[in-house]
């Protein structure tokens, strides 16, 4: 056999091998394409049947949390999302929840508590660390919390230090409060306080730095009233459990991370309704510890 015949036979024998590999590759490509089509079809069918609904990003709003426990007030940005409900409804739900309009149910912790919002029948709301939301059947309005800096406002004229009572405000919401020592009663916000600027400034100068503040610093006078209001409400509620009636005296000291002064003795009077809810008003007469202060709050039974 000549050399030319041998080369011809080799090319003839090799040709079917290359053809077979090409066919195998073609089959594999077709099989993968068919598999992809098979996998995609059910997803398309589910979407056509109205399956999982996408979560929509709605608007956001800012919320100011006043000073508590010796820490300065904080601004939060609340980002709202919606699933199975329109953004306007979701935003109203979350705004009402954060504004304190919710009605508290359940226990004394976030894990054991839930809220209903007046005007939103069937919705049930809960909260956790940095997030929460409201649900009704398969619909959900959710939110996430981000701490932001206090927004800058145009310069405002300062109140004179002799202003009689520039701080006359309500502090906290229905989600804020404390239990009495015997765990049978709770004092829940909002609570109301009135004090002069000079009184707030005098107390602020005797409070030490907060956890992340530089040494030698003090809280701003505007952050003092709400911390004092909570200190008075929680101390008086504890003392109320030992009074014979709804009136008595209580001594109040600054509460929080930072060390603070003794504020003074408050005389409290109040009345209990048929539902075992007590409305108290505590008054401090100006003395060497602090100026005149008035705090009003409500005491409720833990189970009732």
Tens digits of per-residue pLDDT, 207-245? 988 777 778 888 889 989 999 999 999 999 999 999 999
Q: Are residues 174 and 286 located together in one domain of the fold? A: yes
Q: What range does the domain containing 29 cover? A: 1-52
Q: Are residues 172 and 296 located together in one domain of the fold? A: yes
> Who contacts 81 (Cβ-Cβ below 8 Å, separation ≥6)?
55, 56, 57, 58, 90, 141, 142, 143, 144
Nearest to 178 by CA among 118, 72, 255, 253: 255
> Who contacts 228 (Cβ-Cβ below 8 Å, separation ≥6)?
193, 195, 203, 252, 254, 263, 293, 295
For 149-192, what is each residue's pLDDT tens digit? 654 444 444 454 444 457 888 888 877 888 899 889 998 888 89
Q: Are residues 257 and 200 located together in one domain of the fold? A: yes
Q: Are residues 214 and 123 located together in one domain of the fold? A: no
Distance of CA 152 to the CA centre of its chain: 22
Residue 155: inside a domain: no
Supply 272's token pair.
């209990």
Residue 102: inside a domain: yes
Residue 153: inside a domain: no
* Residue 234: CB atoms within 10 Å: 21
Matching residue, tokens 């089509």: 37
pTM of the model: 0.49
The DSSP letter of residue 48 is: H
Q: Are residues 66 and 113 located together in one domain of the fold? A: yes
> Who contacts 286 (Cβ-Cβ below 8 Å, separation ≥6)?
199, 292
Residue 162: inside a domain: no
Q: Are residues 178 and 297 located together in one domain of the fold? A: yes
Q: Are residues 186 and 231 located together in one domain of the fold? A: yes
For 115-146, what is each residue's pLDDT tens digit? 899 989 999 998 876 788 999 999 999 999 88
> Who contacts 158 (Cβ-Cβ below 8 Å, separation ≥6)?
none
Q: Are residues 191 and 268 located together in one domain of the fold? A: yes
Residue 161: inside a domain: no
Report cis status (omega within 30 of 0) of the bond before 190: yes
Residue 128: inside a domain: yes
Last residue of a domain, one of 98, 113, 148: 148
Residue 10: inside a domain: yes
Q: Are residues 259 and 215 located together in one domain of the fold? A: yes
Asked if the model's pLDDT at residue 12 lies above 70, the reply is no
Mean pLDDT, the chain, whole residue set:
76
Q: What are phi and psi of 51, to 5 degrees?
A: -75, -130
Q: What is the rounded CA–CA span in Å between residue 91 and residue 46?
A: 29
CA distances from 298 to 79, 163, 176 (A): 32, 28, 12
Q: Are residues 207 and 108 located together in one domain of the fold? A: no
Pairing type for strands 131-136 and 124-127 reads antiparallel
Number of folded domains that form the chain? 3
Evaluated on CA atoms 17, 19, 25, 31, the torsion sign reads negative
């Amino acid at each position: 056999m000549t050399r030319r015949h041998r080369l011809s036979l080799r090319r003839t024998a090799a040709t079917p091998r290359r053809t077979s590999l090409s066919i195998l590759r073609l089959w594999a490509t077709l099989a993968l394409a068919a598999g992809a089509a098979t996998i995609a079809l059910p997803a398309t069918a589910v979407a056509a049947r109205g399956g999982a609904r996408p979560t929509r990003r709605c608007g956001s709003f800012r919320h100011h949390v006043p000073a508590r426990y010796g820490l300065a007030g904080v601004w939060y940005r609340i980002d709202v999302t919606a699933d199975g409900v329109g953004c306007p409804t979701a935003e109203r739900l979350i705004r009402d929840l954060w504004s304190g309009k919710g009605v508290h149910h359940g226990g004394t912790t976030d894990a054991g508590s839930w809220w209903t919002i007046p005007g939103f029948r069937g919705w049930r709301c809960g909260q956790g660390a940095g997030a929460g939301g409201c649900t009704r059947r398969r619909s959900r309005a959710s939110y996430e919390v981000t701490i932001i800096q206090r927004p800058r406002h145009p310069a405002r004229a300062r109140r004179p230090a002799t202003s009689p009572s520039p701080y006359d405000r309500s502090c906290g919401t229905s989600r804020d409060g404390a239990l009495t020592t015997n765990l049978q009663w709770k004092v829940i916000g909002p609570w109301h306080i009135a004090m002069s600027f000079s009184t707030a400034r005098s107390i602020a100068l005797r409070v030490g730095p907060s956890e992340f503040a530089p040494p030698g610093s003090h809280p701003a006078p505007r952050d003092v009233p709400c911390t004092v209001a909570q200190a008075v409400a929680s101390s008086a509620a504890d003392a109320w459990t030992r009074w014979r009636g709804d009136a008595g005296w209580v001594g109040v000291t600054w509460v929080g991370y930072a060390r603070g002064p003794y504020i003074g003795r408050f005389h409290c009077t109040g009345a209990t309704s048929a539902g075992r809810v007590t409305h108290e008003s505590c008054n401090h007469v100006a003395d060497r510890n602090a100026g005149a202060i008035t705090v009003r709050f409500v005491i409720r039974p833990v189970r009732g």
